C-alpha cells in the first residue's frame, strides 16, 4: 500500500512481487498536459496473477479487451504470460507519452526561433522535470526485466522468457527515445539564451545607431547655440544674422543624419540579423 516505491522485484516462496510505475498523461482544463506515474503492484503465482493499482490504468484496458476478444495466447498461456502481457502494456504506454513530449519540444523550438515564446524557460523546466520523472521510472524497470528473461524468476517458463526479452528491448528503446528528448530539451535552454542575447543585441544595435546619428547633430546644435555676438566680430557666427541661417542649420542636420543612415544601410547595419538568417535559409527561386 506504500505507493512511492521504485520498480523492484521481490521473490517469495510461493509468489513473486513486482512493483512498476505506470506513466499517465493528465490534461488540464486549459489544454496543458502533465506527466505523472502511478504505482502498479503485481503478484505472480503458479496459477494466478493479482494486480493492485494506485489508480485505474488505461494500459490494462488493452489487455482486458484482448482477453474478451480471445486474441493472442493470453487465454491459452499461463500466469507468467499474463504477467508479461500486463508489463508489456505498461511499457508500450510510454511511447505515446514520449511522442507527446517530443511534439512539445518541437513546438517550443519553433516558438523560440520565431521569438514568440515568453514563458519558454518555465515550460522547458517543466518538460525536463517530466522527463526526469519518466527516467526514474524506466531505468529501474529495465533492471527488473533482466531477471525475467534470463531465467532468474522460477515461475516464468522458458517459452515466456522470449517475450520478456522482447519487453526488455522495448524498454531499452524507450530509454533511447527518452535520452534523445532530454538532450533536445537541454539544447533548448541554450537556444533560448541565445535568442534572448540576440534580441538584446538587436535592441543595443538600434540604440547605438540612434546615439551615433545624434552625436553630430548634438555638435551642430551646440555650435549654433553658443550665441556669439555677430556685431562684435565678423567671425562670431555670421550665420546668426543671416536671413536663412536657421533653415541652413536644420538642412545641414538633416543632410548629416540622412547621409549617416544611408551609409549604415549600405553597410547592412540596419538589417535585422533574423531577416538575414531567413533570407539565407530561403531556397533560391
Region 252-270 average pLDDT: 85
Q: At what angle do helices 94-114 and 79-92 cross, to 10 degrees?
A: 10
**What is the rounded CA–CA span in Å between residue 17 and residue 2?**
14
User: 206, 200 in Cβ contact below 8 A?
Assistant: no
Per-residue confidence band for 283, with pLDDT thresholds at 50, 70 and 90 = very low
Residue 273 has pLDDT above 60, yes or no: no
Per-residue confidence band for 275, with pLDDT thresholds at 50, 70 and 90 = very low
Q: At what angle do helices 79-92 and 158-224 cross, to 10 degrees?
A: 10
Residue 277 has pLDDT above 50, yes or no: no
Residue 228 has pLDDT above 80, yes or no: no
Local structure of residue 111 (DSSP, 8 states):
H
Per-residue confidence band for 26, with pLDDT thresholds at 50, 70 and 90 = confident
DSSP characters for 15-45? -EEEEEEEEEEEE-TTS-EEEEEEEEEEEE-
**What is the rounded CA–CA span in Å between residue 102 and residue 94?**
12
DSSP characters for 182-215? HHHHHHHHHHHHHHHHHHHHHHHHHHHHHHHHHH
Mean pLDDT of the chain: 82
Region 193-213 average pLDDT: 83
Residue 57 has pLDDT above 80, yes or no: no
- Which is higher by pLDDT, 241 or 65? 65
Residue 282 has pLDDT above 80, yes or no: no
Residue 78 has pLDDT above 90, yes or no: no
Residue 216 has pLDDT above 90, yes or no: no
Percent residues over pLDDT 70 in the chain: 89
pLDDT in tens, 137-174: 899 998 888 888 887 787 888 888 889 899 999 999 99
Residue 227 has pLDDT above 80, yes or no: no
User: What is the predicted pLDDT for the residue at 272?
Assistant: 61
Structural domains in the chain plus CATH codes: 8-198 (1.20.58.340), 225-281 (no CATH)
Residue 43 has pLDDT above 90, yes or no: yes
User: 181, 98 in Cβ contact below 8 A?
Assistant: yes
Closest CA to 102 of 32, 192, 190, 181: 181
Helices (H), 93-157: 94-114, 120-149
Region 224-235 average pLDDT: 71
Amino acid at each position: 500500500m506504500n505507493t512511492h516505491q521504485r520498480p523492484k522485484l521481490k521473490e517469495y516462496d510461493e509468489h513473486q512481487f513486482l512493483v512498476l510505475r505506470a506513466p499517465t498523461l493528465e490534461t488540464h482544463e486549459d489544454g496543458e498536459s502533465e506527466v505523472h506515474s502511478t504505482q502498479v503492484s503485481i503478484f505472480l503465482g503458479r496459477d494466478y496473477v493479482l494486480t493492485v493499482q494506485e489508480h485505474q490504468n488505461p494500459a490494462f484496458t488493452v489487455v482486458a479487451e484482448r482477453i474478451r476478444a480471445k486474441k493472442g495466447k493470453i487465454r491459452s498461456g499461463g500466469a507468467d504470460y499474463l504477467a508479461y502481457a500486463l508489463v508489456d502494456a505498461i511499457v508500450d504506454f510510454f511511447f505515446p507519452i514520449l511522442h507527446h513530449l517530443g511534439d512539445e519540444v518541437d513546438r517550443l523550438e519553433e516558438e523560440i526561433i520565431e521569438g514568440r515564446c515568453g514563458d519558454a524557460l518555465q515550460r522547458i523546466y517543466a518538460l525536463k522535470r517530466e522527463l526526469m520523472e519518466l527516467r526514474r521510472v524506466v531505468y529501474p524497470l529495465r533492471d527488473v526485466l533482466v531477471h525475467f528473461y534470463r531465467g532468474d524468476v522460477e515461475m516464468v517458463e522458458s517459452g515466456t522468457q522470449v517475450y520478456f526479452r522482447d519487453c526488455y528491448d522495448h524498454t531499452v528503446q524507450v530509454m533511447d527515445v527518452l535520452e534523445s528528448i532530454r538532450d533536445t530539451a537541454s539544447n533548448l535552454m541554450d537556444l533560448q539564451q541565445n535568442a534572448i542575447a540576440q534580441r538584446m543585441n538587436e535592441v543595443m544595435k538600434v540604440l547605438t545607431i540612434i546615439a551615433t546619428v545624434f552625436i553630430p547633430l548634438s555638435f551642430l546644435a551646440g555650435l549654433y547655440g553658443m550665441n556669439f555676438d555677430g556685431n562684435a566680430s565678423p567671425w562670431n557666427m555670421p550665420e546668426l544674422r543671416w536671413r536663412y541661417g536657421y533653415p541652413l542649420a536644420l538642412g545641414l542636420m538633416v543632410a548629416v543624419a540622412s547621409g549617416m543612415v544611408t551609409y549604415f544601410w549600405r553597410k547592412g547595419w540596419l538589417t535585422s540579423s533574423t531577416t538575414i538568417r531567413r533570407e539565407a535559409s530561403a531556397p533560391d527561386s
